[in-house]
Amino acid sequence: MIRLLTFLVLNFGALYIGALLMGGSPAENEWYQSLDKAPWTPPGWMFGVAWTIIMICFSIYMSELSVRYSGKKLQLLTLLFSVQWVFNVSWNLIFFNFHLSLFGLIILLILIFLLLVIHFNFANARRVFIITLLPYLIWLSVAVSMNFYILIRN
């Protein structure tokens, strides 16, 4: 239970810091509002709902993995999680503040890669684990498509 609470705090902390770096919500960001966005861009309220679900599921996923390993394997898992955390937080700054769509797209692709590395090295592709990782992977895939659309259209 302590590990789950730790991952919940870390993951929701990442969302909070990302929002601070973004300077509010996408609805408040003039640059973002001026962009030609993908027709499949979800309404603003969906972002909060999606990220809440994603971070709860990802916290469950990481806490379950973290109890299965110790020593160097746990250190590697912690390192990969930490790198993922930094990339997740930094995307907001890179995309919304610096307006670097290409770099934002690269960060999203790196996040997907890191999640897959974690999954295939630690979860052994077990179906029970993929269920809790899937929301994050799906959302990142949608984000890649939206980011790519913005990159080519603006």
Query: Exposed (0-12), middle (13-18) or buried (19+): which is 85, by Cβ within 10 Å?
Result: middle
Q: What is the pLDDT of residues 80-135, one digit of tens each?
A: 999 999 999 999 999 999 999 999 999 999 999 999 999 999 887 567 788 999 99
2-153 belongs to CATH 2.170.16.10: no
Higher-confidence residue of 27 and 72: namely: 72
Give percent of the chain above pLDDT 70.
98
Domain ranges for the chain, please list them: 2-153
pTM above 0.75, yes or no: yes
> What is the structure's pLDDT at 23?
80
Q: What is the pLDDT of residues 6-18, one digit of tens each?
A: 999 999 999 999 9
Using pLDDT thresholds of 50, 70 and 90, give the confidence band for residue 51: very high
Cα–Cα distance measured from residue 35 to residue 98, given in angstroms and rounded to the nearest whole number: 14
Question: Do residues 84 and 122 lie in contact, with contact meaning Cβ atoms separated by under 8 Å?
Answer: no
> What is the structure's pLDDT at 79?
98
